[in-house]
Amino acid sequence: MATVTYDKASRVYPGQEKPAVDSLDLQIEDGEFLVLVGPSGCGKSTSLRMLAGLEEVDAGAIRIGDRDVTHMPPKDRDIAMVFQNYALYPHMTVAANMGFALKISGTPKAEIQRRVMDAAKLLDLVEYLDRKPKALSGGQRQRVAMGRAIVREPQVFLMDEPLSNLDAKLRVSTRTQIASLQRRLGITTVYVTHDQIEAMTMGDRVCVLKDGILQQVDTPLNLYDTPANVFVAGFIGSPAMNIATFDLADGRAKLGEANVEVPTSVLSAVSNEGSNTLTVGFRPESLIPSSAEDEGGIPVTVDVVEELGSDAFIYGHPTGPKAAEATDRMRSDTIIARVEPRMAPAKGEKVVFKVKGGESHFFSTKTGERISY
């Protein structure tokens, strides 16, 4: 086991001016489960492949423990990788697949058998050791791929979207198994996914990337509660945060029929920027039913109601005399609110919401950075 360090590591693909990964500075602790997440093309898989030695590092350095592995061949890095497509040998049994890397490295047969059996017990694969991959389900094949990584007893696990080929129900159960297994083994793990729910439920910390640049790395709860900028705020959370640009007047942020109280420190920060607008975000659960008479109420016409049993979410659009102005200045033309599932409004109904006190998020309109208060 070891720490992993990206020291201003960059990767520029031939023929491209813009780096796929741009000066990535990241310290991953010994035994930590770190998730790299972001939209397609953000550089998360490239970052992982740079650590694996499958992509060149054009600037900066990468270290595993005290060893500089920047230009070291993959076989010498003491890492094990789990891929999206399992990459199992179809003509070999589960046991042979799991022990193949040990066999070609010259590990004694008895040691291979011990390690394979230990991994099979961890992954509930003992009864499948004599089967071929074609006789296994997708989830079982993924566990075999995990077992092949475990038997090598590496310093670092690398996982590149290992659950993307599984159906929704199996993804939920398998991600729990992977997270639990990593805690038991205590091996430093770097995990790539485009699914932010997967990232939030699995990682000790989550690293959010956009256009090859690190946006924020923190615990899942801190990312959710204190996003560093507008991008992280809109990306983390399901359903997404409601975000819009408000005008500032009389110490409040105003947009359409809505107005939100703004702390004095935030007003000062915006004034220092020479701006008279403010980007405001609020989570779906931060909206509560109100009456039309309440100051700052947000009138919404319900378009869709998602009933999930324990929760219900409404998706609607601003309504009222100034609805067009509000819609034009929202990052999405939809307002999302969590409501009581047994008291959800009907499609087409007009409702009014207000933001709970202290639950608004404020960002600079000029830079997109969070303004703390």
**Distance separating alpha carbons of residues 101 and 149, to the nearest angstrom:** 9
Please name which of 359, 373, 224, 360 lies closest in space to residue 280, comparing C-alpha atoms: 360
User: Would you list the domain boundaries of the chain?
Assistant: 4-234, 243-363
CATH, range 243-363: 2.40.50.140
Please name which of 94, 30, 99, 15 lies closest in space to residue 64, comparing C-alpha atoms: 30
- Helices marked H in 35-167: 44-52, 94-104, 109-122, 138-150
Please name which of 175, 180, 182, 170 lies closest in space to residue 200, comparing C-alpha atoms: 175
**Distance separating alpha carbons of residues 127 and 123, to the nearest angstrom:** 11
4-234 belongs to which CATH class? alpha beta
Please name which of 298, 280, 371, 370 lies closest in space to residue 337, comparing C-alpha atoms: 298
Are both 4-234 and 243-363 of the same fold? no
pLDDT tens digits for the chain (373 residues)?
Answer: 699 999 999 999 999 999 999 999 999 999 999 999 999 999 999 999 999 999 999 999 999 999 999 999 999 999 999 988 888 999 999 999 999 999 998 999 999 999 999 999 989 899 999 999 999 998 899 899 999 999 998 999 999 998 888 888 888 888 888 899 899 999 999 999 999 899 999 999 999 999 999 999 999 999 999 999 999 999 999 999 999 999 998 888 988 888 888 999 999 999 999 999 999 999 999 999 987 666 778 889 999 999 998 899 999 998 877 878 778 888 887 999 999 998 899 999 999 999 998 899 999 999 999 999 8
